[in-house]
Structure 1
Amino acid sequence: MNDVLIIGIADGSGSGKTTLTNQIASLFQEHVTVLKHDNYYKAHDDMTFEERKNLNYDHPNAFDTELMIEHLKELRAGRPVQCPVYDYKVHNRSKDTITVAPSKVIIVEGILIFENKELCDMMDVRVFVDTDSDIRLIRRLQRDVLERARSLESVINQYMNTVKPMHEQFVEPSKKNANIIIPEGGYNKTAMEMLQNHINSHLKRTADL
């Protein structure tokens, strides 16, 4: 595939980046492929559940970013990939994979995708979703307790011990690598329209080639 638009959407957990990503994917359907950095958490089969619970999942070293870069190169070349699946309930990579097909638009989503230079340089558009920390914490609490079978205490402890300090050390500084900064992610209608128009222009241009 010769002309692929790669869009990166980043910021901290609970920022609204997934909502933004899902809205774009829903609008353009088969024309958009989504690659989530969260799926590329490293496997830790050698550790117990208790040991895995205490890992720092918000540090760049928690991710197999090299594999994600290879998969992105394959997708850009028009070849499907077998994307890993992460199971949040057991804090480990699943044995399953998902077949991800190439398309004319690829969205790369994650908290630390702008932190890695090689990955960041592959993106044509880099969007940083800028959301207040209190809102992000509330959304994270709701998500992890309701969807990921976590206790309220464990979510708060993780936020204070790793999520907040890692956000300040790695995520927030990566904002400088974005070329678009928007508040509130998928809840920002102006930003949605801007991205929608950009994608429409790309699809029209590549269709005319």
Structure 2
Amino acid sequence: MLVIGIAGGTGSGKTTVVNKISEKFFDNEVAILSHDSYYYDNSNLSLEERRQKNFDHPDAIEFDLMIDHVKKLKNGDAINEPVYSFISCTRQTETNSVEPKKVLIIEGILCLTNKMLRDLMDIKVYVDCDSDVRLARVIQRDIQERGRDVEQVLKRYNKTVRPSHIQFIEPTKRFADIIIPQGGKNKIAIQILTNHILQTLNKT
């Protein structure tokens, strides 16, 4: 199994990069784990308290569970990936079954912040993008998908998203084997990465 970690700021285009890589493979060849699934359950808090949580801080992720799941997949075992709702800010009761595949892509803003998780990766990627572009995407996504209004999004961006990006996320560039500027629009960089993945698989 080839394990690829794809990190980058919120709204940088990570999901687009993941999708474009996945398109080059059959469905039974690629498994995807999003670290969004591994946010701690906050159901013991009120909805307002949950929405005040800093989801861009490494402590918000249950890395121990995620690392355990990656190890199991590498050993050939299926796992039950948690399901997290950003509307209620809680972990759901249902899970998604993930089978081991030839390629495992781990995607998330914080997935390069944890050394134990990094050490399980064969290729580490950082998706880079201008901050104003990322902010525009965050506003659109949070309004359409997460039930927030513009004022809430901007308040959260200034209070937690931007400071956490500077403190935790952007510094993980130094761990990346490949940095993709311009996010998912960088066709050449994505093609180079995809070709490298294919060549690596052909050698094994």
Q: SS state of the match for residue 126, structure 1?
A: strand
For residue 85 of structure 1, report the CA deviation from its aligned partner: 0.6
CA contact (8 A) 1:34 1:109 kept: yes
- 2:113 match: 115
CA contact (8 A) 2:180 2:190 kept: no
Equivalent of 1:132 in 130, 133, 137: 130
- 1:23 match: 20
Cα RMSD after superposing both structures:
1.0
Report the TM-score when normalising by structure 2. Answer: 0.96
For residue 153 of structure 1, report the CA deviation from its aligned partner: 0.9
- Structure 2 counterpart of 1:53, one-letter code: R
Size of the aligned set, in residue pairs, is 203
- Structure 2 counterpart of 1:49, one-letter code: L
> Percent of aligned pairs with the same residue?
49
- Structure 1 counterpart of 2:142, one-letter code: D
Rounded Cα–Cα distance in structure 2 between residues aligned with 1:195 and 1:177:
16
27-36 or 73-82, which deviates more: 27-36
For residue 205 of structure 1, report the CA deviation from its aligned partner: 2.9
1:105-141 residue CA offsets vs partner (Å, 9 max, x unmatched):
1111111111111101111111111111111000111
For residue 165 of structure 1, report the CA deviation from its aligned partner: 0.3
Pair 1:12 & 2:23 matched: no
142-151 or 56-65, which deviates more: 142-151
Report the TM-score when normalising by structure 1. Answer: 0.94
Structure 2 gaps, min length 5: none
1:22-56 residue CA offsets vs partner (Å, 9 max, x unmatched):
12123212211111011100001211111111111
Matches within 5 A, 1:143-154: 143-154=141-152
Rounded Cα–Cα distance in structure 2 between residues aligned with 1:123 and 1:198:
15
Matches within 5 A, 1:79-118: 79-118=77-116
Rounded Cα–Cα distance in structure 2 between residues aligned with 1:30 and 1:203:
14
Rounded Cα–Cα distance in structure 2 between residues aligned with 1:50 and 1:147:
18
Rounded Cα–Cα distance in structure 2 between residues aligned with 1:6 and 1:198:
13
Q: SS state of the match for residue 126, structure 2?
A: strand
